[in-house]
Amino acid sequence: MGATHGHTGSAVQELLTRLRELPVVPAVRSLEDVEEACRRGAAAIFFFKGDVFGLREALPRCGDFGIPVYVHLDLVEGGEDAAGIRLLRELGAAGVVSTRGPLLREARAAGLLAIHRVFMVDSEALRTGTAAVRASEPDLVEILPGLAVPHVIRELRASVPQPVIGAALVTQPEQVAAILRSGAVGVSASARRLWGLRIPAGAAPKP
């Protein structure tokens, strides 16, 4: 289990517990996606399209199902500064996802859980991404593409203790299982066929 930070520590533990049962986090673009993700069941939902005003309808709907929502600050309009982060908190977002360390630190200061998104396209990206994560001190790390996780997680873990989520290019249940076996705690995916997927007990290590 990776490091936790103050008041967000309990939120991290709760998310990890939920991911043990439902390891696939739906990455949604629309209210229709939100409805489908809630229907299938999810440990959390990553919202990565539209604007903060669209969240006014999506967040209460997820709240009805007890599903926390994490907003991608780089892709959702209106959440890319301190004021937007405060608005997201007021709307009921549980946390944020971003490639930008300063925004993640701002989010954590506002009491939101922070997930640092890192692209691992080559060895140099691994080095720079690891340094960026150490600087931002997020609660979790999201690695793209998800299929790279089994190949980089050991080196990443050598200097970054945070739990890892794989994302992008994951379309098959066996890919999810392989990423989890490598040590990731979850997988974010837009492929609806994976939403609600449950991994049999013992098939993946506990975070």
- The CATH number of the domain where 105 resides is what? 3.20.20.70
The predicted structure's pLDDT at residue 50:
84
Does 26 have pLDDT greater than 70? yes
Q: Is residue 201 part of a domain?
A: no
Q: Is residue 200 part of a domain?
A: no
Q: Is residue 121 part of a domain?
A: yes
**Coil, strand, or helix at residue 180?**
helix
pLDDT in tens, 120-163: 989 999 999 999 999 999 999 999 999 999 999 999 999 999 99
Q: Is residue 19 part of a domain?
A: yes
Residues 88 and 92: their CA atoms lie apart, in Å, by 6
Name the percent of the chain lying above pLDDT 90.
78
Query: What residues make up the domain containing 136?
Result: 6-194
Q: Contact 128/118 with Cβ under 8 angstroms?
A: no
Between 2-16, 25-39, 144-158, the lowest mean confidence (pLDDT) is in 2-16
Which DSSP symbol is given to 200?
P
Residues 95 and 100: their CA atoms lie apart, in Å, by 14
Residues 27 and 1: their CA atoms lie apart, in Å, by 24
Does 206 have pLDDT greater than 60? no
Q: Is residue 31 part of a domain?
A: yes
Q: Is residue 79 part of a domain?
A: yes
- How many domains does the chain divide into? 1
